[in-house]
Amino acid sequence: MEGRQPLDARDTRVVWTRGKGCAELADLLGDGESNRITGDLVEECISLRGDILVTRRLPSSFDLVDVAVPLDFVSGNVTKIVSAVGGGPHSALAAQTAATLGRRLGVEAEMVSATTPGDDPGKAMEVIDRLGLSVDEIGGRVIEVSGIAELVETVDEGSLLVLGAPGGSWFKRAMFGPGARLRSKARAGAVVVRKAPERVFRWMGEPVYVSPMRQADDTLRIHEERVLAVADSGLLIGLVRRENLAVAGTSAVGLLMEEAMSAKVDETIDEARALEPTFGDDPIPVTDHDEHLVGGLSLRQG
């Protein structure tokens, strides 16, 4: 599958909703190119093929795309960016976000993992080393602290904190509740991120299909796919196999097709993989919930 570019790439699709700091953060993450959502959140994220949503609070039941939330974010106060990382599912996104913001703002960015006395610092360093393989422009360090007060002293006043959603590591939990004073010391504020499952619409390409009225021999000359979508007036109506086309001469494709199979546009990539045995290297048809053909998903490219 041809992978999407990392968060710091120029073609990252950033969408945002109204809220303090949202537009500014969205423009930084999108390198000046972002889209404001004014209608239905789900529909517009899919329509705009958003990679990350910048919004004023973490949506409780929304996991369609990655999310970033600015908290008292003041870009003019940023002199350093600190990403709190651990073993949780959001750490990679936190590190990528920190690296992107550091580059766009021209300041140092680093990953920090905090441990308490008695913890094994080697495990925390392993996390930093692993994340550094995919975000090589950002360094990292492990700090050992015994409590919130000591942790507060390790944060520079000009630091922008980037951390995963609440839960997980002790360091991340310290940012919330009684530990909120840690954020208050960082005059540049904080950005909270949450990773979402990879979904079909974020990876799909243009649809690949044939009309049911096209002749089999013409289809063989035009298409190389082993299994090909058949669409009529924008609707997916079936599949046709190359082996059947090869013996059908001038017969219409519609006479040779079998039952349609597709991935839904908002399904996860893992769910779409159930169709991989049928399509192999060929694009899996992607449909909306009204069976309109909207894309093609190639799982084995790249």
CATH of the domain at 278: 3.10.580.10
Domain boundary among 196, 212, 242: 196
Task: Check which CATH number belongs to the domain holding 138 and give it.
Answer: 3.40.50.620
Cα 242 from chain centroid (whole Å): 35
CA dist 11 and 85 (Å) reads 25
Q: How confident is the model at residue 100 (pLDDT cuts 50, 70, 90)?
A: very high
Pick the last residue of a domain from 173, 196, 219: 196
Residue type, 158: G
Question: How many structural domains is the chain composed of?
Answer: 2
Instruction: Please indicate whether residue 215 or residue 10 has the higher confidence score (pLDDT).
Output: 215
Q: 178 and 251 share a domain?
A: no
- What is the rounded CA–CA span in Å between residue 265 and residue 47? 10
Q: Is residue 3 part of a domain?
A: no
Question: Are both 131 and 164 inside the same structural domain?
Answer: yes
Q: Is the pLDDT of residue 47 over 80?
A: yes
Strands across the sheet containing 293-297: 263-264, 284-287, 293-297
Q: For residue 116, is it within any domain?
A: yes
pLDDT band, residue 134 (cuts 50/70/90): confident
The amino acid at 184: S
Task: Name every residue whose Cβ is closer than 8 Å to that of residue 233 and which is 6 or more positions away in sequence.
Answer: none
Answer whether residue 21 is part of any domain.
yes
Q: Is residue 36 domain-shared with residue 185, that is, in the same domain?
A: yes
Conformation bin of residue 18: beta by default, left when phi > 0, alpha when psi is -120 to 50: beta
- Whether residue 49 is contained in a domain is answered as yes
Measure the CA angle with vertex 111, ends 91 and 115; round to 5°.
85
What backbone phi and psi angles, to 5 degrees, belong to 16? -150, 155
- Say if residues 18 and 55 touch (Cβ distance below 8 Å): no
In this structure, the answer to whether residues 189 and 235 fall within a common structural domain is: no
CA atoms within 13 A on the CB side of 143: 22
The pLDDT of residue 8: 40
Same domain, 289 and 241: yes
Domain presence at residue 100? yes
**Mean pLDDT within 198-214:** 96
Q: How far is it, in rounded angstroms, from Cα 125 to Cα 121?
A: 6
User: Which ranges in 22-113 belong to alpha helices (H)?
Assistant: 22-29, 41-47, 91-105
Provide the 10 A C-beta neighbour count for residue 193. 26
Domain shared by 226 and 188, yes or no: no
pTM of the predicted structure, to 2 decimals: 0.85
Label residue 260 by pLDDT band (50, 70, 90): very high
Same domain, 192 and 205: no
- Based on the domain organization, do 214 and 172 belong to the same domain? no
Distance separating alpha carbons of residues 19 and 67, to the nearest angstrom? 14
Question: What value does the mean pLDDT of the chain take?
Answer: 87
- Judged against a pLDDT cut of 60, whether residue 245 lies above it is answered with yes
Which residue among 167, 196, 225 closes a domain?
196
Domain that holds residue 42: 14-196
On the question of pLDDT at 155 being above 80, the answer is: no
User: What average pLDDT score do residues 185-204 get?
Assistant: 89
* 28 and 176 belong to one structural domain: yes
Distance CA 75, CA 161 (A): 12
More confident residue, 300 or 270: 270
Q: Are residues 147 and 225 in the same domain?
A: no
The answer on 212 and 186 residing in a single domain is no
Q: Is 150 part of a structural domain of the chain? A: yes
Q: Could you identify the residue written with the tokens 């048809």? A: 285
In a domain, 4, yes or no: no
In a domain, 39, yes or no: yes
Residue 51 contacts residue 7 (beta carbons within 8 Å): yes
Same domain, 113 and 234: no
pLDDT for 284 equals 97
One-letter amino acid of 133:
L
Provide the pLDDT for residue 86: 83
